Amino acid sequence: MGGYLPRLMPWLAKFLSHATAPPEARRIAAALKGVIGDSLNDHLALAEGTGAERWIVPSDYLFLYRDRADFAHDAFGWQVRRELGYQWDELERDALTRYDPIFSDKVGFAARLGDHGRISDPGAYVKALAAHALANGARMIQATVTDFAQANGRITGVRASGQTIPPATVSCWPPARGQRRSAPSLASMCHWKPSGGAIMSSFGNPRRCRALRSWWRRANS
């Protein structure tokens, strides 16, 4: 790590500057909301009818604190969430214990947000989605992604393993454990028209590409 730290410092300094400037933090939070703000419903829509639904578990998301005073120290972050329309319940120790007695007595306060979820088995979830897509005529491309292709200031495709792949993707995935983490690989399952035309999914359900449509619009705005 010591040898890599000098190379990391320029990126780290810029990262920390964004983290400490309120206008930048608000801008980044607003952008991220468009990506992950409705991720539970995005996953439910993606998995509908594929057999992967069983791995999606709707749940609450809790932020745990020693006490309310500790929570108050996080006021800026919670103010940003409120500005973005998020709502939460505040649980004192007794209410938290009734909610779930598993927490240590050192945890005296929690902020609980609903409409979250988890994937109980990420590997099985991804395999189920891939199997359903391939069974319905999708084409899987496995390649090393090196860059985005651009024309007139707009993203027109993805450069991967010496070829340019037009905008048709479900996700960029990291390498398997033990492989060099130089770039993600690409699995192609959804197609849409960069001109802004109707989105069509290889699964036969256009709603499943909603997150991709949002990303494409942001990337080209």
Report how far residue 155's alpha carbon sits from residue 161's, in angstroms, rounded to the nearest whole number.
18
Q: What is the band of 48 on the pLDDT scale with cuts at 50, 70, 90?
A: very high
Please provide the average confidence, as pLDDT, over all residues in the chain.
Answer: 78
C-alpha 7: how far from its chain's center?
Answer: 27
DSSP per-residue letters across 116-158: EEEES-HHHHHHHHHHHHHHTT------BEEEEEEETTEEEEE
Residues near 191 by Cβ (< 8 Å), separated by ≥ 6?
A: 168, 200, 201, 202
Report how far residue 212's alpha carbon sits from residue 192's, in angstroms, rounded to the nearest whole number.
9
Instruction: Compute the average pLDDT of residues 60-88.
Output: 96
Which helix (H) or strand (E) segment holds residue 8: the answer is helix 5-20
According to DSSP, the β-strands at 109-119 and 56-65 are antiparallel
The three-class DSSP label of residue 221 is coil
What does pTM read for this prediction?
0.65
Weakest-pLDDT range from 29-43, 72-86, 205-219 = 205-219
**Model pLDDT for residues 14-29, shown as the tens digit of each residue:** 888 877 778 888 999 9
At residue 193, the pLDDT reads 32
Range with top average pLDDT, 71-75, 168-172, 174-178 = 71-75
